[in-house]
Structure formats: C-alpha cells, structure tokens
Amino acid sequence: MTERWCINSNHNHTERWPVSKIYAPTGELLKKERGLVEPVACTMDPADKSIWLMDRGKSEILKLDSSGKPLNRISGLDRPFALTYDPDTHHLWVA
C-alpha cells in the first residue's frame, strides 16, 4: 500500500507567518511548519520515513526527519511544482 501525505496550509492571524500542517495517512498531525509561503507537494522516503516538502513560494525543498526536524534544504529552484522520491535509486525528482 502506498502511503499518502497531506499538507494543509492556512494563515493564522494570531501568528506572524502562515502555519502549514503535515498529516500522516492516518490523519495524525505530524508537524507544524512555520514560514512556508506556498507548500504544494511532499513525498516520503519509506526507508527512514523522512519527508521532502516543496515550498513553491520560496522555490525550495526541505527534508524533514520522521519527527519533523529539518535535515536538508535545497534552494534556488525556479518555482517548482511537483516532486517524487524513488526509493529504489534514492533519487528525488523535481519538476
């Protein structure tokens, strides 16, 4: 079974930055991430359960560990709109 992930972005007027919420397929809230401008996609590495999160508004991709701790950041992209991770080759594909 393929796991699906959901990103829910909304602007919380009591905070300075928009808050994005990342949910597991079970509906469990995994992470609240601040400072994202336009999160549009995410994918998971099934081996370690890390999450690749695309922020189209900042033209960057974040890698978070299974607990939501930032591991890596890829920036300087030109408004990316899709991504997928190939667990067989360990390649992250970005469009």
Concatenating the DSSP letter of every residue in 20-88 gives: EEEE-TTS-EEEEEES-S-EEEEEEETTTTEEEEEETTTTEEEEE-TTS-EEEEE---SS---EEEETT
What tokens were used for 67?
Answer: 């607990």
pLDDT of residue 60: 92
What average pLDDT is seen over the chain? 75
* SS3 call for 14: coil
Q: Which of 2-16, 21-35, 38-52, 58-72 has the lowest mean pLDDT?
A: 2-16
> pLDDT grade, residue 66 (50/70/90)?
confident
Q: Which residue has the tokens 């920036």?
A: 75
* pLDDT score recorded for residue 12: 37
- For residue 68, pLDDT over 70 is answered with yes
Read off the pTM: 0.68
Query: Considering just the CA atoms, what is the radius of gyration of the chain in Å?
Result: 13
What is the model's pLDDT at position 10? Answer: 52
How many residues belong to the chain? 95
Q: Which amino acid appears at position 34 of this protein?
A: R
Write the pLDDT tens digit of every residue in 26-45: 777 766 666 777 778 888 88
